[in-house]
Amino acid sequence: MSASKSSSDNARNVLMDKIVSLCKRRGFVFQSSEIYGGLNGCWDYGPLGAELKKNLKDYWWRRMVRDRDDVVGMDGAILQNRSVWQASGHEKTFSDPLVDCKETKARFRADQIFYTPAIIGGDSHGYVSITESPSMEEEAQQKIRKIQKKGGIKGEIAPLDLKPLTEATAEERAQIPSPNATEPGTLTEPRQFNLMFKTYVGPVEDDKNVTYLRPETAQAIFVQFKNVLETSRVKPPFGIAQIGKAFRNEINPRNFTFRSREFEQMEIEYFCRPEDGMRLLDEWLETRLKFYEEIGIPRDKLHILDVPEKERAHYSKGTYDIEYEFPFGVQELEGVAYRTDYDLTKHQEHSGKPLEYFDPNTKEKFIPHVVEPSAGVDRTVLALICQAFDEETVTNDKGKEETRTVLRFAPRMAPIKCGVFPLLKNKPELVAKAREVQEMLRVHMNVFYDEGGAVGRRYRRQDEIGTPFCVTIDFDTLGENGDETKDTVTVRERDAMTQERIAIKDLLGYLLERIS
Ligand code: ATP
């Protein structure tokens, strides 16, 4: 592997560290239960993170539900009757393969451990293993070189052939060391670990009262399909949309909020005639890609994976993963899946309740087929932050070069739309006018009033949290330099750092046009 690959991996880690640290420092994301040492896989959104997340969810709801005639919303319970999870197959099969290292006590997902032959010929030395990462090829090679050097082992380094541990034969597995051990024989056999959090309904903790925190929002939609159909003026093709929490007891939460144990999903189940499924799958992919562009994630940072049949759920006739180029690798943001009539059929079977639709035009009954765009809120928020993060060298007031950190959010996603500053905090007339402007704007958008420090410093603080506009009230506003500039303010734009003089009466229109 070339030196440039290594330095680019390093740069990506540094970038991710900077993003995580900014998130904490400015109140986007905190470790959950931090003062007690945290809870692995759980995160709390601080004041700015909560605004960002809300903007994302509201915009999704607006574009996917309110702007369309064919999609309605619902808000289902997190706890459902256990039968839901039995019918959907989650109780039996919603699991990941788990392996333990007996020596180091580390725990891995078997499909996230990759192995490759190490040295061939000479004193042949079996395999090395490594956990999945964008730099795993290089890390594997380093590991092999180390083994060779340390042990003075002769023979040739084998060509790299990384495969997931789940593909290893029993014989191979016996020779594969754990990623953090050197000698083989410490990894346990992979065993299936169910990802659902189990709980009990009511005071008695026995098997009759077991249920689970939902691992996806979709099932509540399927089981309420008939109620929605009968109470709303919709008929196939139509969709039911939902945003809500989901819980998965992930074996290895990692990459900041990317893989969490508690997270939120934005899902649509789109019900249609069987013959329209494949066409609608492609249409929904386009609709969703357009959405990402609208929130500021450019198409060229998204990858579309047409999931091969052997990796799809057995009932899916087609699945696209929409992936984003995160600093830690290209990873899934959303799955768009054609699920056929699998879910409704299963629930009809298990509940004994008919879930067909009678089409009055064709006079036939059928179980609708379903196309499901299923997106992660937290992963999209993380993508928005990664995409927005930028550092540039600028010259400050004193003529010195400094680094400007700026989050270049699309204005409609920005947690704060406008900063409002009086030029000086000890001039009551400036403060009063600035408060007036704040009151006028806050009805329409999230504004932030700041009177502390030099205006340049205040701009920088807003740049760092992605505020697209800042308004400064100065002596010109008060009319001290003539009537021409009276009741005008300076509007400073985040990205180009340009400043414009705008009349207060035009300010709201000016901002609304640029933020909605
Ligand atoms: P992965 O393969 O990354 O575990 P998945 O294919 O199991 O994801 P789905 O079951 O398709 O995910 O869930 C739909 C969406 O929910 C995902 O695209 C993702 O955005 C989000 N999601 C799933 N699991 C998590 C998690 N542990 N943390 C955060 N978001 C998640």
Compute, in angstroms, the gap from residue 287 CA to the centroid of ligand 1.
Answer: 19
Lowest mean pLDDT among 128-142, 197-211, 257-271, 339-353: 128-142
Banded pLDDT at 4 (limits 50, 70, 90): very low
Mean pLDDT value across residues 84-112: 93
- Which tops the pLDDT comparison, 324 or 147? 324
Query: Residue 1's pLDDT is what?
Result: 37
Closest to 58 measured CA to CA, from 291, 322, 247, 386: 291
- Which tops the pLDDT comparison, 186 or 199? 199
pLDDT tens, position by position, 125-166: 688 999 998 888 988 888 888 877 776 667 777 788 999 999
Compute, in angstroms, the gap from residue 58 CA to the centroid of ligand 1.
Answer: 20
- Residue 513 CB-density burial (10 A; 0-12 exposed, 13-18 middle, 19+ buried): exposed
User: Which residues form ligand 1's pocket by a CB distance below 6 Å?
Assistant: 216, 248, 250, 259-260, 263, 265, 332-335, 374-376, 378-379
- Closest C-alpha to ligand 1, atom 29: 259
Query: Residue 10's pLDDT is what?
Result: 81
Best residue among 42, 263, 269 to mutate for probing ligand 1's pocket (most ligand atoms within 8 Å of CB) is 263
Does residue 290 register a pLDDT over 80? yes
Mean residue pLDDT of the chain comes to: 94
pLDDT tens, position by position, 249-267: 999 999 999 999 999 999 9
Does residue 188 register a pLDDT over 50? yes
What strands, in cross-sheet order, belong to the sheet with 302-306?
71-73, 238-247, 262-272, 369-376, 329-340, 318-326, 302-306
Compute, in angstroms, the gap from residue 387 CA to the centroid of ligand 1.
Answer: 20
Does residue 123 register a pLDDT over 80? no
For residue 139, give both structure tokens.
Answer: 């890390």
Number of C-beta neighbours around residue 442 at 10 A: 15
Query: Residue 2's pLDDT is what?
Result: 41
Mean pLDDT value across residues 68-82: 98
Banded pLDDT at 43 (limits 50, 70, 90): very high
Compute, in angstroms, the gap from residue 334 CA to the centroid of ligand 1.
Answer: 7
Query: Residue 146's pLDDT is what?
Result: 83
| Contact indicator for 235, 357 with CB cutoff of 8 Å | yes
| Sequence-ordered list of residues with C-beta below 8 angstroms from that of 294, at least 6 positions apart, any chain | 59, 63, 410, 412
Lowest mean pLDDT among 116-130, 204-218, 468-482, 500-514: 116-130
| Contact indicator for 212, 199 with CB cutoff of 8 Å | yes
- Percent of the chain with pLDDT strictly greater than 70: 97
Does residue 34 register a pLDDT over 80? yes
- Closest C-alpha to ligand 1, atom 13: 374
Best residue among 371, 379, 382 to mutate for probing ligand 1's pocket (most ligand atoms within 8 Å of CB) is 379
For residue 480, give both structure tokens.
Answer: 């001290």
**pTM of full prediction above 0.85:** yes
Best residue among 265, 269, 330, 334 to mutate for probing ligand 1's pocket (most ligand atoms within 8 Å of CB) is 265
Mean pLDDT value across residues 57-81: 98
Query: Residue 124's pLDDT is what?
Result: 63
What SS3 class is residue 397? Answer: coil
Domains along the sequence of the chain with CATH? 3-94+197-385 (3.30.930.10), 96-194 (no CATH), 416-515 (3.40.50.800)
- 201 sits in which H/E element: none
- Closest C-alpha to ligand 1, atom 4: 259
